[in-house]
Amino acid sequence: MTLHPAPFHADVAKGPESGTAHWVMTQDGVRIRVAHWRAAEEKGTVLMFPGRTEYVEKYGRAAGEFAQRGYAMLAIDWRGQGLADRLIDDRAAGYVTAFTDYQTDIAAALDAAAALDLPKPYFLIGHSMGGCIGLRAVMSGLPVNAAVFSAPMWGILMSAVTRPAAWAMSWGSKRTGMGHKLAPGTKPETYVLAEPFQGNTLTRDPEMYRYMQDQVGTYPDLALGGPSLHWLHEALTEMRDLARRPAPDLPCTTFLGDNEQIVDPARIHQRMASWPGGTLELLKDGEHEVMMEVPETRRYVFDTSAALFDSHLNNGSAHRASA
């Protein structure tokens, strides 16, 4: 694989000084961006799968937390967001042709990790949409020794009235050529610039909220607005399909704030209740961004994640061996 230098905004990422970004071309011809950070004494590498609207710089501080705990990190700008290729003319609308296309991004990122000689074993952290993408990946044999999910998008929180309407409207948009339009109730402006800290659904920490605001305020090309109707239909279809599949035999911890207002907590409880050896960690008063919550919550999440990874450094599981 050939890697090409890509822009990386270290001034707003605020991660380890080793942070570097590269352009990577996927098998289907989409240019995505990956960033990696190294640690002084590395035990392995964390594969960070970000959520919808996110970009690699958002995880600079997380990379610093894991570097302190002995782990390198690789993060991805998924197709259609961050500085990766946008797939439709409207840069503000979240869009993907098919949800399984994100698996092609993962394949390219793994090739990049190998080309960069990032240390094995690999471990996964999937946040929100990245948790949905990551779930399919581990079901398909992603070569990781353990996985952590942060408020994973295994369901979207909707009312009983809204859900059938969302299915109908998003399905209809594909037939009427309106799939590129923003889903009703969403905005072209990215959430942290559209909404004040007071009453936000992401974090209780005002400093971390400013961290996110400064990133997209300083570099507007990183920003993404609401999901398109097509993205919504693809996401609903993917989550329904994944819900029918058994969890893999892979060590797993999932973090969920008890004030979660974006993804569906019931789907997370259902999945983790049937995950062999899986653990669900409920975070008191936590919002959606558990890695960007108040300091004591962040510390607990990073300590617990690193402890899981440390305990599976030499894991010769059948899951990993078959990948």
In a domain, 159, yes or no: yes
Neighbour count for residue 278 (Cβ, 10 Å) = 19
Nearest C-alpha neighbor of 64 from the set 17, 127, 23: 17
Examine the pLDDT at 134 and tell me if it is beyond 70.
yes
Q: Is 88 left (phi over 0), alpha (psi -120 to 50) or beta?
A: beta
In a domain, 317, yes or no: no
Q: What's the whole-number mean pLDDT along residues 203-210?
A: 98
C-alpha distances in Å from residue 141, one per residue of 75, 138, 144, 247, 317: 19, 5, 8, 12, 11
Q: What's the whole-number mean pLDDT along residues 21-30?
A: 98
In a domain, 319, yes or no: no
Range of the domain at 34: 4-312
Share of the chain above pLDDT 90, in %: 88
Tell the residue number behind the tokens 């990386």, with chain if given.
8
In a domain, 99, yes or no: yes
Residues 6+ apart with CB under 8 A from 94: 52, 53, 80, 81, 224, 225, 226, 227, 228, 231
Measured in residues, the chain has a length of: 323
In a domain, 323, yes or no: no
Our count of domains for the chain comes to: 1
Share of the chain above pLDDT 70, in %: 97
Q: What's the whole-number mean pLDDT along residues 85-104?
A: 97
Nearest C-alpha neighbor of 59 from the set 69, 48, 67: 48
Q: What's the whole-number mean pLDDT along residues 295-313?
A: 98
Q: What is the domain-level CATH number for residue 301?
A: 3.40.50.1820
In a domain, 23, yes or no: yes
In a domain, 161, yes or no: yes
Decide: residue 193, CB within 10 A, 0-12 exposed, 13-18 middle, 19+ buried. middle
Q: How far apart are CA 211 and CA 100, in angstroms?
A: 31
Rg of the chain over all Cα atoms, to the nearest angstrom? 18
Q: What's the whole-number mean pLDDT along residues 204-208?
A: 98
Contact 281, 307 (CB under 8 A): no
In a domain, 320, yes or no: no
pLDDT band at 318 (very low <50, low <70, confident <90, very high): very low
Of the listed ranges 86-100, 175-189, 264-278, the least confidently predicted one is 175-189
Q: How far apart are CA 63 and CA 50, in angstroms?
A: 13
pLDDT band at 321 (very low <50, low <70, confident <90, very high): very low
Of the listed ranges 109-123, 166-180, 230-244, the least confidently predicted one is 166-180
Q: How far apart are CA 184 and CA 232, in angstroms?
A: 11
Decide: residue 166, CB within 10 A, 0-12 exposed, 13-18 middle, 19+ buried. buried
Quick one: pLDDT at residue 158? 80
The whole-model pTM stands at 0.95
Q: How far apart are CA 131 and CA 259, in angstroms?
A: 18
